Amino acid sequence: MKKSTLILSLCLFGATFTYTDLSAQNNSQSFESNPVTKKFILLPVKTGATKTWITVNVEGVWQHEFEIELAPENPDFYATLEVGQWKGKNLVLTAESVVPGSKWLSLIQTSDQMSDENLVYREDLRPQFHFAPRRGWTNDPNGLVYYKGTYHLFFQHNPYGTSWGNMTWGHAVSTDLFHWNEMPDAVIPDKNGVVFSGSAVVDWNNTSGLQTKPVKDNTGKITNPPLVAFYTSTLANRGKGKSSQSMVYSLDEGKSWIKYPGNPIIPHIIAENRDPKVFWYEDKQNPNNSKWTMALYMDGEDYALFTSENLIQWNKICDIKNLGCSECPDMFELPVDGNKQKSRWVFWGGNGKYLIGNFDGKEFKIESGPFTSKYGGNDYAAQSYSDIPANDGRRIQFSWMQGGEYPNMPFNQQFTVPRNMTLCTTPDGIRLFMEPAKEIEKLRISNPITFSSTLEGSDKPIQVPGIKGELFDIEIQFDLKSTNVSDTNNVLHTEIFGQKIAYNLGTQTIDLSGIKAPLAPVNNQIKLRLLIDRTSIELFANDGIIAIAKCFVNKDKVPCNFTISGNKDLADVQLVA
């Protein structure tokens, strides 16, 4: 029997869209836009539907491919595929294997707007002051860079579904770290593979030469430096390819990104070798020895440092071993107790373990560690911003709140709030502290609730009056009384939305719904700061020496019901919310 092909053409506003049904041959179907006239193609997604590979071809040339749960009908949401860079050209999307009877071709939309504009950010479980993508999956924060008043946040993104896959760099921008405008995806997969984690910098002196038309002011400073980002290319050929390091750059202040034609800039070395974190090392003694440095995860618990004069050619200089974790390195210098003349370098790994030491541009010399400042399974793959202005001087970090649940939502996963990190001297030595970035204070209501009381007993919880709603920034201070606090029965309790926090004075541990961390009193006080959003709670203890991030879903609609309890001779409590 002769196999047939059905072609349906539709002319709309001067553009022709052609749907080609090849299902009688090989279960593949194609969507053709000839020419491309809109910025986006919106693809129908149904969570749980059979996955299929879609390839993107422009003027007959393969561009990239991705796997998607195509909705045969009644899509849960629309995924955004940016095609504006190919306006005026012929574009063909080919789905390799389509469920018989699927109506996905008739559900496709073209638009100059990203998908679901009338629905996005209005979902029941949408975090309100924590970043989560408009649509799809996210994990590690990437490419955190500040430039000309704008914080750029890139992130591991699956634009085509709510589970991990199709790793791409999503992109959002903000002027205050809390109100974000999500842009089209910045870096998409290519022949080298999908786009894993990495970092970004401003090449102020155009050492890379990527800005071919530099403009200088009257002091000789380049006013249009390139922004350069580094990431791991991996899993080419649908999972068969090895990891290598690649680069993209922007000549328009981060609005669009160009793949470096010589990618990869660092070929595969060993095993995983991924997650490049790049920064400028300033040699204070000999400025001529200043250079770019890259921290790179290698394998097991091993990392390495590389240096470069131009961001393109890199040479390995040393190894850093036995951090106690893997993946996602970060490395930065901080003053100790605010004293810039007494600084230390911090080397950071994926699960939040860190080393403290010194770096001379050639070798990282470990002084102490590894230490832990973050606890619990919902805090991973943190990265800090590059190029924060010197007059600000902060080291601001985001972390992925991995493992959260967002039932029936068209997005999946969120980030912590931005945190400011400092090094402070403690009785145990120099340690890393982290607290919410100060910009969060602008979100507070003008008339905070204040409360103070003496505890009435473990069996008599105090209901804190006036706390209603679902979004909170609460500061609690327990002033311990001069009693025998070594008894393990001496426990301070706090509960909100069913999330229980217990501080045991006998064991000197804090417990947030099963996540435990050591915490010693300071000046006979325990201070807690709680940030509560729709799907998460973050706890910072004693000015941030301990941080715990926990995701939760209030499935049973437990009311706020904020209570504090403990033995009445144990402590006095003060609260601001």
pLDDT digits (tens, 9 = 90+) for 7-40: 333 333 344 454 554 444 468 999 999 999 999 9
User: Smallest Cα–Cα separation from 260: which of 334, 297, 311, 184?
Assistant: 311
pLDDT digits (tens, 9 = 90+) for 503-530: 999 999 999 999 999 999 999 999 999 9
450 in the same domain as 434: no
Q: What is the pLDDT of residue 62?
A: 96
Structural domain contains residue 140: yes
Structural domain contains residue 123: no
Domain that holds residue 516: 445-576
Q: What is the pLDDT of residue 510?
A: 97
User: Smallest Cα–Cα separation from 532: which of 494, 570, 503, 505?
Assistant: 494
The pLDDT > 90 percentage for the chain reads: 82
pLDDT digits (tens, 9 = 90+) for 528-563: 999 999 999 999 999 999 999 999 999 888 889 999
Contacts of 424 (CB under 8 A, 6+ apart): 336, 337, 430, 431, 433, 543, 545
pLDDT digits (tens, 9 = 90+) for 95-116: 999 999 999 999 999 999 999 8
| Euclidean distance between CA atoms 562 and 577, whole angstroms | 11
State how far the alpha carbon of 358 is from the alpha carbons of 152, 307, 310, 346, in Å.
29, 16, 24, 8
- The stretch 194-219 carries a mean pLDDT of 97
Contacts of 419 (CB under 8 A, 6+ apart): 396, 397, 398, 399, 434, 435, 436, 437, 544, 547
Structural domain contains residue 126: no
456 in the same domain as 428: no
The pLDDT > 70 percentage for the chain reads: 94
**CB atoms < 10 A from the CB of 16, how many?**
14
- The stretch 168-177 carries a mean pLDDT of 98
469 in the same domain as 384: no
Q: What is the pLDDT of residue 402?
A: 96
314 in the same domain as 275: yes
User: Could you tell me if 541 and 549 are in contact, meaning their C-beta atoms sit under 8 angstroms apart?
Assistant: no
What are residue 94's DSSP bridge partners?
30, 55
Q: Which CATH number belongs to the domain containing residue 142 in this structure?
A: 2.115.10.20
217 in the same domain as 317: yes
Q: How many domains does the chain have?
A: 3
Q: Which CATH number belongs to the domain containing residue 88 in this structure?
A: 2.60.40
What are residue 286's DSSP bridge partners?
none
Pairing of strands 150-158, 136-147: antiparallel
Residue 312, classified by CB atoms within 10 Å of its CB into exposed (0-12), middle (13-18) or buried (19+), is middle
b/e 529-538 (16+ beta carbons within 10 angstroms → b): bbbbbbbbbb
- Give me the amino acid identity at 16: T
Contacts of 29 (CB under 8 A, 6+ apart): 19, 20, 21, 22, 23, 94, 95, 98, 102, 104, 105
- Give me the amino acid identity at 263: N
Phi, psi of 36 (to 5 degrees): -70, 125
313 in the same domain as 390: yes
Q: What is the pLDDT of residue 482?
A: 59
Q: Is the pLDDT of residue 6 over 90?
A: no
State how far the alpha carbon of 78 is from the alpha carbons of 75, 107, 237, 392, 446, in Å.
7, 10, 26, 40, 39
Structural domain contains residue 117: no
Q: What is the pLDDT of residue 425?
A: 97
User: Per-residue DSSP letters for 292-326?
Assistant: EEEEEEEETTEEEEEEESSSSS-EEEEEE---SS-
148 in the same domain as 75: no
- The stretch 476-488 carries a mean pLDDT of 75
Structural domain contains residue 153: yes
Q: Which CATH number belongs to the domain containing residue 538 in this structure?
A: 2.60.120.560
145 in the same domain as 98: no
User: Could you tell me if 143 and 199 are in contact, meaning their C-beta atoms sit under 8 angstroms apart?
Assistant: yes
196 in the same domain as 169: yes
pLDDT digits (tens, 9 = 90+) for 154-171: 999 999 999 999 999 999
User: Smallest Cα–Cα separation from 201: which of 172, 231, 170?
Assistant: 231
| Active-site amino acid positions | 140
User: Could you tell me if 439 and 418 are in contact, meaning their C-beta atoms sit under 8 angstroms apart?
Assistant: yes
308 in the same domain as 279: yes
User: Could you tell me if 226 and 261 are in contact, meaning their C-beta atoms sit under 8 angstroms apart?
Assistant: no
Structural domain contains residue 546: yes
Structural domain contains residue 116: no
Structural domain contains residue 125: no
Strand locations in 13-115 (E): 15-22, 28-34, 40-45, 51-58, 61-69, 77-82, 91-95, 109-111
| Euclidean distance between CA atoms 570 and 484, whole angstroms | 9
User: Smallest Cα–Cα separation from 304: which of 344, 334, 271?
Assistant: 271
Q: What is the pLDDT of residue 487?
A: 67
Which one-letter DSSP state was computed for residue 237?
A: H
485 in the same domain as 368: no
Residue ending a domain, among 70, 95, 111, is: 111
pLDDT digits (tens, 9 = 90+) for 248-305: 999 999 999 999 999 999 999 999 899 999 999 999 888 888 999 999 999 999 999 9
User: Could you tell me if 232 and 187 are in contact, meaning their C-beta atoms sit under 8 angstroms apart?
Assistant: no
316 in the same domain as 218: yes
User: Smallest Cα–Cα separation from 415: which of 204, 144, 192, 159?
Assistant: 144
User: Residue holding tokens 């097991």?
Assistant: 300
Q: What is the pLDDT of residue 484?
A: 55
Q: Is the pLDDT of residue 359 over 70?
A: yes
Q: Across the chain, what does the average pLDDT equal?
A: 92
